[in-house]
Structures are given as structure tokens and as C-alpha cells.
Amino acid sequence: MTKNPLPPAQPDIPADLPEHSLSVVVPMYNEAENVEPLLERIHLALGPYPWPWEVVLVDDGSSDATPAELKRCAEAYGPHVRVVELMRNFKQTAAMQAGLDAARGSVIATMDGDLQNDPIDIPRMVSRLLKEELDLVAGWRKNRQDGLWLRKIPSRIANRLIARLTGVHLRDYGCSLKIFRGSAIKNVRLYGEMHRFIPAWLATVTTPKRIAQEVVTHHARVFGESKYGISRTFRVVLDLVFVYFFMRYRTRPGHFFGGIGIGLGALGGVILAYLAALKLFLGESIGTRPLLFGGFFLVIAGIQMVTSGVLAELLARVYFESGDTRPYLAQPMKTLADNEGWAQAEVAHDH
């Protein structure tokens, strides 16, 4: 048995917690030593929980003993601990989507499997989500236990840049501990490495006014190795460009490409008109002037951008009318009835 490195804590279930069902989704990759301590901590935090809850653990194609540990612990705890086993390593975003697809709760909590997030914060965050009629309560690692130069500073820069461009103002986009209203997050599909921008994606289906943040506990990593490095910063910048485009031009990409095309074409047209005037009225030779080639290629580029806008509009229609395509492959799971596979404390409810 792996000793739990987290400090002792008593579960704190807010009073008058509105009725709901809760799914805790945890993607894991090569976290064998953290499986048992994590489940122990989750059960400590949710043991007296008054409403049905489950844990969905996603093995993202781990190459260590994580799959065996997940199966062993799931059998030990019972059917409310469910395991989604991906066929290979599809990365964190796809693993997160697999967990969200498998989750059955009306409220869904996501967290990392490295023991840095603490499930003791989940009941308090769920209470705020339900009582304030929110669609997302995002964790804010105010006292973050990570390295300054490789983790904290790049994260702060990225958070400010993301907030400025997306209009969703959060202090900590990178915290995986988030609480979602199931009906909202189920309308968002995650691809690539877009798990960092889930609040921004959620803002495409709900208003930013229904998104809030909550200070959460953050622990230093004890077991295993971090899967993040400084290279993540550069990927965030590229992903942010895509998010910016998708949020503003998702349903009208022709306006984006067409606007650029019209601008380039107009500039090229002005240049060619100027050169034509020089040729016709002043008799100047323009055949060898670099400006002629510049104007010509600007017009061609403008036509190409407008054409790209038309194609983008067609692709957008295909995207919105396409079927349910998933970014992962997983082993088949046991099918459960709606009233099966839930954990719940023996607490009387007043209706």
C-alpha cells in the first residue's frame, strides 16, 4: 500500500447542498503510485456526500503499472469507481473528453491524477456552482506549489494573454480542478490540446457571467514525474491563435478570410490603378517597376483569401452537420443503468 502523502483533512460538506449527481473525472498517464492515494483522498472528501457520486478514471495509454492499479483499486472500492482504458496515449485533452463522455452526473468535476489537486475542495465548489446558478467554477491555485521560472511565470503570462484575447477573465486557466454543470460541458467537444482553454470553449455555449473561480488547495508533486515542460508555452501560443479564431469566427469563417482578402485586394487594386494612371496620363514606363508586381500579387492573394473564405464556410457547415466523432479509442465499458454504480452516504433527505 502506498502511503498517502497529502496532509490529514476532514471532509467539509456544505449545508443545504441542492440535489444533484456528481461525477469526478480524472485522466491519468503513468501515475501508478498516485492511484491508491488519490482514491483514498477522494473517498475521504466525498464519503459523507449526501447525493449520488461516482469516480471516472481514464487511463491514457500508460506504459507503467497504472492500468493494473486502476483495475485493482476499482474492484476494491466498488462499481462507483469506473475505469476508461484508452487504446494508446491520446494526450490529456482526448483523455479528458473520454472521461466527460463517460460521466453520468448532472455535475462534473475534473482534476489531475498527480495529487496536486485536492478533492477536499470539490464539495465547496459544487455548492457554489449550484447555489449561484453557474456553469463553471474553475480552481485558482493562489498558493501554487511549482517552480517559479519553468511553471509559474510562463503560466502567469499565458493566463493574462488568454484572458485578454478570449474575454473570460480567470487568474488560473491551467488548474485542472474545475466543476462543470453537465448540461453545459456536454455541449463542448475537446480536440488537440485544448484542455487548457476549456473556460474559453465553454464561453461559446454560455455567457462568461456564468463562469467563476474559487481558490483551491495545491500540493507539491510527490510521486511520478511532471508531464509538462517549457515547450508547453509555445504550444499555448499556437493554440490561443486557434481559440481566438474559433470563438469569433466559428460560424462565419468567410468573414475572417474574406475580410483579409478584400483588404489585400483593395490595396493591390489601388496600386494597380495608380500605375495605370501613370501609364495612361503621364506616359511613364511601368513594366519593370517592383510596385507593379507587388500590386499584382496583392490582388491574387486577395482573390485566394476570398476563395479560402468560401471553402471555410463550406467546411463549417460540414462541421456543424457532422456526426459524433471522438478524438480517442477506448476499451468497451460495462453498461450501467441510471441508478447503478453510484456511491452515496446513508443520509436522510428532506424533500
The CATH number linked to 221 is 3.90.550.10
- 109 in any annotated domain: yes
b/e burial code for range 28-58 (CB count within 10 A of at least 16 → b): bbbbbbbbbbbbbbbbbbbeebbbbbbbbbb
Within a domain: residue 170? yes
Taking residues 108-132, what's their average pLDDT?
94
264 and 243 in a common domain: no
Q: Is the same domain home to 304 and 235?
A: no
The count of structural domains within the chain is: 2
Instruction: Give the 3-state secondary structure of residue 29.
Output: coil
Assess if residue 269 is contained within a domain.
yes
Q: Are residues 76 and 134 in the same domain?
A: yes
Residues 95 and 160 in one domain: yes
Q: Are residues 107 and 29 in the same domain?
A: yes
Distance CA 253, CA 121 (A): 40
Distance of alpha carbon 329 from alpha carbon 25, whole angstroms:
17
- Confidence tier at 267 by pLDDT (50, 70, 90): very high
**257: Cα separation from own chain's centroid:** 26
- pLDDT-derived band at 146 (thresholds 50, 70, 90) equals low
Question: pLDDT class for 232, splitting at 50, 70, 90?
Answer: low
Query: What is the average pLDDT across 75-91?
Result: 95
Instruction: Determine, yes or no, domain membership for 348.
Output: no
Element (H, E) at 97: helix 91-102
**pLDDT tens, position by position, 282-340:** 888 888 888 999 999 999 999 999 999 888 877 766 765 565 656 677 888 888 888 88
Q: How many CB atoms within 10 Å of residue 246?
A: 16
- Distance CA(57)–CA(74), nearest Å, equals 9
Q: Does the residue 315 lie in any domain?
A: yes
Report the distance separating Cα 158 and Cα 137, nearest Å: 19
pLDDT band at 98 (very low <50, low <70, confident <90, very high): very high
Are 128 and 185 members of one domain? Answer: yes
- Report how far residue 7's alpha carbon sits from residue 329's, in angstroms, rounded to the nearest whole number: 37
Residue 2 is assigned to a structural domain of this protein: no
Q: Please report the pLDDT score of residue 327 as a whole number.
A: 66
Q: Does residue 166 share a domain with residue 37?
A: yes
Q: What is the mean pLDDT of the chain?
A: 84
Q: Which range scores top for mean pLDDT: 112-121, 236-245, 333-342?
A: 112-121
Cα 96 → chain centroid? 8
52-56, 59-63, 321-325, 344-348: least confidently modelled range: 321-325
- Note the pLDDT tens digit of each residue in 18-41: 999 999 999 999 999 999 999 999
| 170 and 315 belong to one structural domain | no
* 312 in the same domain as 216: no
Assess if residue 161 is contained within a domain.
yes
229 phi and psi, to 5 degrees? -145, -175
Of 135 and 164, more confident? 135
- Cα separation, 201 vs 223, in Å, equals 32
Considering the domain architecture, whether residues 307 and 216 belong to the same structural domain is answered as no
Residue 171 or 107, more confident:
107
Share of the chain above pLDDT 90, in %: 47
Tell me: do 133 and 166 sit in the same domain. yes
pTM of the model: 0.76
Residue 229 scores a pLDDT above 60: no
Give backbone dihedrals phi and psi of 86, rounded to 5 degrees, phi first.
Answer: -75, 150
Pair 160, 285 in one domain? no
What's the domain range around 86? 22-249
Question: Which pLDDT band holds residue 157 (cuts at 50, 70, 90)?
Answer: low
326 is a domain residue: no
Please, which pLDDT band fits residue 74 given cuts at 50, 70 and 90? very high
